[in-house]
Structure 1
Amino acid sequence: MDWRDTGILLKARKHGETSAILEVFTPQHGRHLGVLRGGTSRRIAPSLQPGAQLDLTWRARLEDHMGAFTVEPQRSRAATAMADRRALAGLNAVTELLCFCLPEREPHPALYRRTEALLDLLGEQSLWPLGYLRWELALLEDMGFGLDLTSCAVTGASTGLVYVSPRTGRAVSAEGAGAWADRLLPLPAVLLGEGEASDADILIALTTTGHFLHSHLAPALRDKPLPAARAAWIDRLARA
Structure 2
Amino acid sequence: MEWRDQGILLNVRRHGETAAIIEVFTEGHGRHAGVVRGGTSRKIAPILQPGAQLDVAWRARLEDHIGTYQVEPLRSRAAAAMSGRLALAGLNAVTGLLAFCLPEREAHPALYRKSEQVLDLLGQDEIWPLAYLNWEMALLEEMGFGLDLSACAVTGTTEGLAYVSPKSGRAVSQASAGEWADRLMPLPPCLRGDGPAPDAEVLEALRVTGYFLEQRLAPELGHKPLPDARGRFVDAFTRTL
With normalisation by structure 2, the TM-score equals 0.99
What displacement does 1:60 show? 0.3
Letter in 2 for 1:102: L
Aligned equivalents of 2:171, 2:21: Cα separation in 1: 43
| Correspondence 1:47 to 2:52 | no
Aligned equivalents of 2:184, 2:83: Cα separation in 1: 39
Q: Could you list the structure 1 runs, at least 4 aligned residues long, displaced by more than 4 angstroms after superposition.
A: none
Count of residues in Structure 1 that have an aligned counterpart in Structure 2: 240
1:211 counterpart residue number: 211
Q: How high is the sequence identity, in percent, across the aligned residues?
A: 67
| Correspondence 1:19 to 2:19 | yes
2:96 counterpart residue number: 96
| Correspondence 1:3 to 2:15 | no
With normalisation by structure 1, the TM-score equals 0.99
| Correspondence 1:182 to 2:182 | yes
2:81 counterpart residue number: 81
Letter in 1 for 2:227: P
What displacement does 1:221 show? 1.2
| Correspondence 1:192 to 2:192 | yes
What displacement does 1:83 show? 2.3
What displacement does 1:79 show? 1.3
Spell out the pairing of 1:134-149 with structure 2 (5 A cutoff): 134-149=134-149
What displacement does 1:169 show? 0.3
Secondary structure in structure 2 of the residue aligned to 1:17: coil
| Structure 1 portions without partners, runs of 5+ | none
Secondary structure in structure 1 of the residue aligned to 2:214: helix
Spell out the pairing of 1:53-132 with structure 2 (5 A cutoff): 53-132=53-132
Secondary structure in structure 2 of the residue aligned to 1:31: strand
| Correspondence 1:224 to 2:199 | no
| Structure 2 portions without partners, runs of 5+ | none
Task: Map Cα deviations across residues 117-173 of structure 1 (whole Å, 9 max, x no partner).
Answer: 000000001110000000000000000000000100001101110100000000000
1:237 counterpart residue number: 237
